Chains A and B, each alone.
Chain A
């Protein structure tokens, strides 16, 4: 019997012809080769936290839930190779046991690592890259059923293309991460008026290891979140009220438990224009969307990287994220604000809702054509391309 697949927010629903859960690389290779032989399509899925259609398929859905261990680690070198289906939360816990930690993770940590990397998912911190920037090597099964490895030393161009590729070059089976010795962070949450937050934005982003703020559209107030190594960073924000603070291991204090379901749209903008863009978004929300929108807008800086389809490719960025309750309409809100993001050269988050297609995206990514050449070489039959991904990457 066919089984419906529903994403975390509930806004993406589909019924694949089959759901496969291979237990090892050999089984995955067989699946890919059969898909090629029978002209089938095959999409890989993680924890389904994404609310874009990136994993939606009416053919074969491949879950990597059984690829969920630390494959190896080197505490001295500060590296670990992690199976692609392992959840970020589980990775944090497993690494802590051997004295290691990821450089940064996002606001939620229940995603599987490979899709989080492959969609350009990130945390917050002006000098910290997205998750894909922490990848120094990976192993994948390509669209012809070959097992291919690449790293900073071995075929580095393929690594740059593959890191943020949404599973369209191959299905990741393992990723090698650059890590830090396990570390603790002190987390503070400050409340203030949005005007005061914006007036102090530059030094807050510079002075604190991790920084983000939420704007609450029905109060015009901001919640500033900062995380720092003990004894470092800002400790007294004279313009704000300290609401709460606590300390703990990085994997425990970086994410925020979240039960409330929501849909998201997010664009990344050059850091230089992000405050101006945010002010336009704020103005538009107050003028047009407050009736329906009660939830926060999130502002997070991220350091540049060199992954071809990363929204931080060769530019320091700020990601501005719209949230809407999953039970309420979101498209009118998201598409209206999208026009502001686009006016500031924004790049959409691959795992969140947006309306851009290949013709719109091509000019936003300097290495777009090179990426497509590599994609066609590794998946010549297009078995990883669904209708959505063809519109997104090919333009058919």
Chain B
């Protein structure tokens, strides 16, 4: 399999909705990362979280095994600190091997489920 993707990605529009409707965790409002590693090496990924009113926080470290996909909710990231809900943030994702990064948001603030999904910006 050809190695796809880039090593640096950016997502400027982070904002985890505060309220949720419906049974959790399926319908928990969330921002979510989808990471695809098509390479033959495990990807060591570091995420930095940028804020509107303070210095960036990070790194949030995680791994994606070779030739695997991994979904991670920003809601669940707690190390080094939980990301505030209902607050604008952005993220920069860096990996030691090329990966493909997709971003999605499920907003269940109202009962009618709303999903947004977009590719992250491949910076380099």
Q: Which residues of A contact B (CB under 8 A)?
A: 216, 218-221, 260, 290-295, 325, 327-328
Contacts and interface: CB of A to CB of B under 8 A. Distances in A.
A312 B86 CA distance: 40
Contacts of A260: 78-80
A292 B81 CA distance: 10
Contacts of A328: 81-82
Q: Which of B24, B80, B86 has the most CB of A within 10 A?
A: B24
B86 A219 contact: no
A218 B83 CA distance: 11
B75 A294 contact: yes
A292 B82 contact: yes
Contact of A294 (B25, B82, B87): B82
B86 to A, nearest CB: 6
Nearest to A328: B81
Main secondary structure of the interface of B (DSSP, over half): loop
B28 A327 contact: no
B18 interface: yes
Given A218-B76, A220-B25, 15 more contacts: A218-B28, A219-B75, A219-B76, A220-B24, A221-B25, A260-B78, A260-B79, A290-B85, A291-B18, A294-B77, A295-B82, A325-B81, A327-B81, A328-B81, A328-B82
B113 to A, nearest CB: 17
B80 A327 contact: yes
B84 interface: yes
Contacts of A327: 57, 80-81
Contacts of B77: 294
Contacts of B79: 260
Contacts of B80: 260, 325, 327
A108 B73 CA distance: 27
A294 B76 contact: yes
Contact of A291 (B24, B28, B85): B85
Interface string B14-33: 00001000001100100000
B25 A291 contact: no
- Tell me the dominant secondary structure on chain A's binding face: loop
27 contacts: A216-B76, A218-B28, A218-B73, A218-B75, A219-B24, A219-B25, A219-B73, A219-B76, A220-B24, A220-B28, A221-B24, A260-B78, A260-B80, A290-B85, A291-B18, A291-B86, A291-B87, A292-B82, A292-B84, A294-B76, A294-B77, A294-B82, A295-B78, A325-B80, A325-B81, A325-B82, A327-B81
A291 B17 CA distance: 9
Greatest chain A CB density within 10 A among B76, B82, B85, B86 is at B82
Interface of B: 18, 24-25, 28, 57, 73, 75-87
A325 B24 contact: no
Nearest to B79: A260
Contacts of B86: 291
Contacts of B24: 219-221
Nearest to A295: B78
A260 B81 CA distance: 9
Nearest to B24: A220
Contacts of B85: 218, 290-291
B25 A293 contact: no
Contact of A290 (B18, B76, B87): B18
A191 to B, nearest CB: 11
B83 A294 contact: yes
The 7 closest A-B pairs by CB, nearest first: A294-B82, A220-B24, A325-B81, A219-B25, A291-B85, A218-B75, A327-B81
Contacts of B82: 218, 292-295, 325, 328
B103 to A, nearest CB: 18
Nearest to A216: B76
B15 to A, nearest CB: 12
Contacts of B81: 325, 327-328
Nearest to B86: A291
A221 B82 CA distance: 17
A327 B84 CA distance: 12
Contacts of B25: 219-221
Nearest to B57: A327
A218 B24 CA distance: 9
Contact of B84 (A216, A221, A291, A295): A291
Contacts of A293: 82
A294 B79 CA distance: 10
A294 B28 contact: no
